[in-house]
């Protein structure tokens, strides 16, 4: 699994003519599920997202997690994170998990984050979406459960 995690002051996503998720301060998480991802990959991503210390404490240092900062998460499925653009100019998406498998792990990711007490809003799996966010910092972190970067 791969995730792009951005600290935001607010974010929302529109799909199928309506807003499906909206948060104030927190994290925008773009999640890509790859072939062969397991519960261990999911737990790695959930743990990292929930515990990343990217929010400022009283001294202005990034020492607080999204939970400690009282933030929320907007979780968006994004199969293009599994894209490989090393050869040529057109990305290869062969590493992306099949839709049924990806949907299951995406929904389970949202559930596991909620189980940690984090408010989670979502996009609409498989739909064309417009994602809007006001970056805070900016702070952007890349996560890969296979630790490729």
Contact 95, 146 (CB under 8 A): no
Q: Is 80 a catalytic site residue?
A: yes
Q: Which of 80, 93, 111, 140 is catalytic?
A: 80
Q: Is 55 a catalytic site residue?
A: no
Q: Is 59 a catalytic site residue?
A: no
Residue 122's DSSP bridge partners are 75
Q: Which of 6, 67, 78, 122 is catalytic?
A: 78
Q: Which of 20, 55, 67, 79 is catalytic?
A: 79
Q: How far is it, in rounded angstroms, from Cα 145 to Cα 50? A: 14
In this structure, what token pair is assigned to residue 124? 């609409």
Q: How far is it, in rounded angstroms, from Cα 52 to Cα 103? A: 24
Residue 5 burial (10 A CB sphere; 0-12, 13-18, 19+): buried
> Mind telling me the catalytic residues?
78-80
């Amino acid at each position: 699994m791969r995730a792009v995690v951005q600290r935001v002051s607010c974010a929302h996503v529109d799909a199928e003519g309506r807003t499906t998720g909206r948060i104030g301060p927190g994290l925008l998480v773009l999640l890509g599920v790859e072939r062969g991802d397991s519960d261990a990959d999911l737990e790695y991503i959930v743990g990292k997202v929930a515990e990343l210390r990217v929010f400022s404490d009283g001294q202005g240092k990034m020492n607080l997690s999204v939970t400690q900062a009282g933030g929320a998460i907007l979780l968006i499925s994004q199969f293009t994170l599994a894209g490989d653009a090393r050869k040529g100019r057109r990305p290869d998406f062969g590493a992306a998990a099949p839709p049924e498998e990806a949907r299951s792990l995406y929904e389970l990711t949202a559930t596991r984050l909620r189980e940690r007490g984090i408010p989670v809003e979502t996009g609409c799996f498989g739909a064309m979406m417009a994602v809007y966010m006001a970056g805070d910092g900016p702070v952007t972190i890349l996560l890969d459960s296979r630790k490729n970067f």
